[in-house]
Amino acid sequence: MRLNRQVYLFLIMAKSLLFIPDISGFTHFVQTTEAEHSQHVISELLEVLISANTQELKLAEIEGDALFFYRENFVPSQEKLLAQIESMYTAFYSHLKLLEKHRICPCNACATAPQLQLKIVAHVGELQFLQVQNNRKPFGEAVIQAHRLLKNSVPTDNYALVSDELAQDMGMPIAYESKLFQFQTGRDTYDDKEISYCYAEIDPNQLKLRSFEDGAKVSFNCEPCLIIEKTFATDRHSLLELVTNYKYRHLWAVDAYKIEWNENEVTRLGTEHTCTIGSKQLNFTVVTKDTEPDELVYGELTTDPPPVDQLYQFFNFKSISENETQVRVELYWKARSPIKKLMMALFGKKAFRKGIEDAMERLEEVLPQVK
């Protein structure tokens, strides 16, 4: 059978850098947590690591929980390599901090995400390249060695590992020490060949993590403008997922025929989505407020809804029993002009009430479809 594609093999003799960040705890994380949210968390973290690439590394492949970078004909200086490693650790742990501070979801995936760790392996060697159509991928002995170095006897899951060959080419002392890096030696045998390396456990407390606000938490000095309550025959976690997962929103939100959001992102404080109702686009931001200790809360803010200037919508979830949840929807709005206030008094409040009540009925109808 004749293949309708061309395969080329290239050999590059000069040494090239191989760089593999690998998220530690991924397998356990996925096996023991909610699959969809764990996938979102890992996707976000991989994107964060890609964005933290400061040394013009090329991404050869995304390997589940790891990224395989390389740079041809390039051996970095010690300073550049350690700066790249620090950049990725800083970005990684800053994002975990964001997930922890801004999460609203109580599921295991979101709750245990801050326990994930990162290991980075850096190696050097001569590369060969396999090119199939427009895809160009490095392979060869150095690539095999770099990946096997991920399976080592380092007694931690949060470390940076530099092969002896790379350390020698950079002129980096095997026992190099700084505030962040305290390297020590190690060696392992792969296919009867011993490979030596140095590694340093990374302490996140030594990183200059990005600072984040506590999220959009709001408070009110008045009672809600509108309250609607309804009881559902399901647990509150399932109901919260249905409300906060925007891929289901069109099934129950009244007149909403188009929802736009970042599908690779877990809903949390500060995330945004756009809802198209008729010819109007409403932009929402996730917010929260204080609630009772035994309640879960999800809130949204929009400054677009006519005839008001600002609308807060909160869903409060309270367990009545193991398979029964009371939902209390609270609306707060601000109408600045006398005309808008009059419109709300005449028909606006009634329209909001009907819209929420219809949405709650639809929510009950679609619940069995997505459980």
Are residues 186 and 232 located together in one domain of the fold?
A: no
Q: Residue 48 domain-assigned?
A: yes
Are residues 40 and 169 located together in one domain of the fold?
A: yes
Give the domain-ending residue among 173, 206, 239. Answer: 206
Q: Which residues contact 143 (CB under 8 A, 6 or more apart)?
A: 18, 125, 127
Q: Residues 269, 286: contact at Cβ < 8 Å?
A: yes
Kindly state the percentage of the chain with pLDDT values over 70.
94
Are residues 35 and 87 located together in one domain of the fold?
A: yes
Half-sphere exposure of 303 (CA within 13 A, CB side): 3
DSSP helix/strand/coil, 299: strand
What is the band of 58 on the pLDDT scale with cuts at 50, 70, 90?
very high
Q: Residue 211 domain-assigned?
A: no
Are residues 227 and 366 located together in one domain of the fold?
A: yes
Alpha-carbon span 121 to 63, nearest angstrom? 14
pLDDT in tens, 215-262: 678 999 999 999 999 999 999 999 999 999 999 999 999 888 899 999
CB burial string 231-245: b at 16+ within 10 A, e below: ebebbbbbbbbbbbb
Are residues 151 and 296 located together in one domain of the fold?
A: no
What is the band of 169 on the pLDDT scale with cuts at 50, 70, 90?
very high
Total tally of structural domains belonging to the chain: 2
Q: Residues 89, 207: contact at Cβ < 8 Å?
A: yes
DSSP helix/strand/coil, 278: coil
Give the domain-ending residue among 156, 180, 206. Answer: 206
What is the band of 33 on the pLDDT scale with cuts at 50, 70, 90?
low
Ranges 73-77, 174-178, 250-254, most confident: 73-77
Q: Residues 17, 76: contact at Cβ < 8 Å?
A: yes
Q: Which residue has the higher pLDDT, 16 or 28?
A: 16
Residue range(s) defining the domain that contains residue 309 = 217-370
Are residues 80 and 122 located together in one domain of the fold?
A: yes
Residue 5 pLDDT exceeds 60 = no
Phi, psi dihedral angles at 298 (to 5 degrees):
-135, 130
DSSP 8-state code for residue 177? B
Residue 12 pLDDT exceeds 50 = no
CATH number for the domain that contains residue 54: 3.30.70.1230
Of 92, 26, 14, 23, give the one whose Cα is nearest residue 53: 92
Average pLDDT over residues 124-134: 87
Half-sphere exposure of 197 (CA within 13 A, CB side): 27
Are residues 136 and 270 located together in one domain of the fold?
A: no
Q: Which residue has the higher pLDDT, 278 or 79?
A: 79
CATH number for the domain that contains residue 363: 3.30.530.20
Are residues 201 and 330 located together in one domain of the fold?
A: no
Are residues 223 and 193 located together in one domain of the fold?
A: no
Q: Residue 101 domain-assigned?
A: yes
Q: Residue 274 domain-assigned?
A: yes
Average pLDDT over residues 19-40: 80
Give the domain-ending residue among 155, 175, 206. Answer: 206
Are residues 202 and 224 located together in one domain of the fold?
A: no
Are residues 286 and 314 located together in one domain of the fold?
A: yes
Average pLDDT over residues 316-325: 95
Are residues 244 and 171 located together in one domain of the fold?
A: no
